[in-house]
Amino acid sequence: MNASTDSSSPRAIDTRAIERAVRRMAQAAEPPWLHAEAARRMAEKLPMIRRTPEAVLQWSGFLGASEALLREAYPHAQQLVVEPALVRRERAAPVPAPWWSPRRWAGAAPAAEPLAEEAVTPGSVQLLWSNMALQGQADPTALFAQWHRALAVDGFLMFSTFGPGTLAELRTLYRERGWGSPMAEFVDMHDLGDMLVAAGFADPVMDQEVLHLNWADAAAALAELRGLGANADTRRVAGLRTPRWQQRLVDALQALGSSDGRPALSFELVYGHAFKAAPRPRVAAHTEVGLDEMRQMVRSRRSP
């Protein structure tokens, strides 16, 4: 989906490919590095929230890589997390942290108990936080509606996702060589803003930034890309690629490098912010007001 796509239409993505990628990421000892970096950058925007939330809800806890940041920002808030069933199953058996991981040495607070989506009480949280989970959704508008129900009135939403500028170099490479599509299209931030309004959110604000990452070689770049997801485009080339083709891909990626020979790729990070306004009464074309109700309205206007 891009800026020219109808923002009300679900995305054409292969949900089974998404599930395989999520399962693979959930089996890792740590969430992807880029997810943690996006969380850190989004947390820098938390001071814009004037009210201190009593309850914070993370949508996708492990892969969001945000728990420590949110506990530090709101140490007295109730911390809740919605974890997809697939991730809950994969994370049921604890994975030992590597010897270098801070988790082995820091006495952090215990992780919040993961909840299913249907277990969230409507209107129960003041901050809903979703880091790098939206790009795997076929119908973002439906997910926005779920988030809207979970938030209390005047509650705040913050989320991040990949934008359509992500891996632009890889898209160009595939197109020039006739290799099909390397990944599903990501949603443009203007479309996301329209979807937020359609779901009932008020005053959505969207912004983005582009990260340019370098790797030691093409093999390292491909290894990290596999850890970030999968090709969920329904138009991708069917069947398996040959070793000869994979070598051509490695050579082409290596050629994308700068003067030092290090391959470089771009990632567009999109950030969204909105709040849940108080519901407004619907006004019909013809409205009847009783005499007693009219008297009460007049009295309320006269009272200091």
Across 60-143, where does the E strand assignment appear?
Answer: 78-82, 114-115, 125-131
Burial of 4 (C-beta count, 10 Å sphere; 0-12/13-18/19+): exposed
How far apart are the C-alpha atoms of 91 and 129, rounded to whole Å? 20
pLDDT number for residue 114: 83
Which tokens belong to 132? 């790098």
Q: Check if the beta carbon of residue 57 is closer than 8 Å to that of residue 129.
A: yes
Which tokens belong to 61? 């806890």
Which tokens belong to 215? 């790797």
3-state helix, strand, coil in the chain (%, to 5): 40, 20, 45
Per-residue pLDDT of the chain (304 residues; tens, 9 = 90+): 333 344 555 788 999 999 999 999 999 999 999 999 999 999 999 998 889 999 999 999 999 999 999 999 999 999 999 998 889 888 886 555 555 555 545 544 455 668 888 889 999 999 999 999 999 999 999 999 999 999 999 999 999 999 999 999 999 999 999 999 999 999 999 999 999 999 999 999 999 999 999 999 999 999 999 999 999 998 888 878 899 999 999 999 998 876 778 999 999 999 999 999 988 755 555 556 556 555 544 544 454 4
Distances (CA, A) of 219 to 166, 226, 250: 19, 11, 7
Across 20-77, where does the E strand assignment appear?
Answer: 55-59
pLDDT number for residue 116: 82
Q: Check if the beta carbon of residue 192 is closer than 8 Å to that of residue 273.
A: no
pLDDT number for residue 304: 43
Fold assignment, 15-165+183-214+269-302:
Rossmann fold (3.40.50)
pTM above 0.85, yes or no: no
pLDDT number for residue 100: 56
How far apart are the C-alpha atoms of 207 and 93, rounded to whole Å? 38
pLDDT number for residue 300: 42
Q: Check if the beta carbon of residue 93 is closer than 8 Å to that of residue 58.
A: no
Distances (CA, A) of 188 to 1, 48, 162, 265: 7, 24, 9, 19
How far apart are the C-alpha atoms of 98 and 114, rounded to whole Å? 23
Distances (CA, A) of 289 to 112, 147, 293: 50, 35, 6
Helical H runs in 178-276? 189-198, 218-228, 243-255
Distances (CA, A) of 98 to 29, 40, 105: 8, 21, 11
Residue 58 bridge partners (DSSP):
81, 129
pLDDT number for residue 81: 95
